[in-house]
């Protein structure tokens, strides 16, 4: 499952659960800030991962 889909599914689940008067989304955010779990870092890195162009493509673009 791609990172974007995981995050969207997680947000939908949190917002569905957050209907009850407990601030679950806030508690999850506090947990992430406080504990800095590795799974969250990996998810963010996967989401923002940029594929580097190959060396030849990079050289061709720099010539233009």
Identify the domain containing residue 11 by its residue range.
3-63
pLDDT single digits (tens) 1-53: 688 888 888 888 888 877 777 788 888 888 999 999 999 999 889 888 876 65
Taking residue 43's Cβ as centre, other Cβ atoms within 10 Å add up to 16
- In the chain, the number of structural domains is 1
User: The whole model's pTM is what?
Assistant: 0.55
Q: For 4-34, b where at least 16 C-beta lie within 10 A, e where not — what string?
A: eeeeeeeeeeeeeebeeeeebeeeeeeeeee
């Amino acid at each position: 499952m791609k990172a974007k889909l995981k995050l969207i599914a997680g947000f939908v689940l949190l917002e569905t659960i957050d209907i009850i008067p407990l601030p679950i989304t806030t508690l999850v955010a506090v947990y992430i800030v406080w504990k800095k779990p590795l799974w969250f870092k990996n998810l963010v890195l996967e989401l923002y991962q940029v594929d580097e162009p190959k060396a030849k493509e990079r050289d061709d673009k720099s010539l233009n």
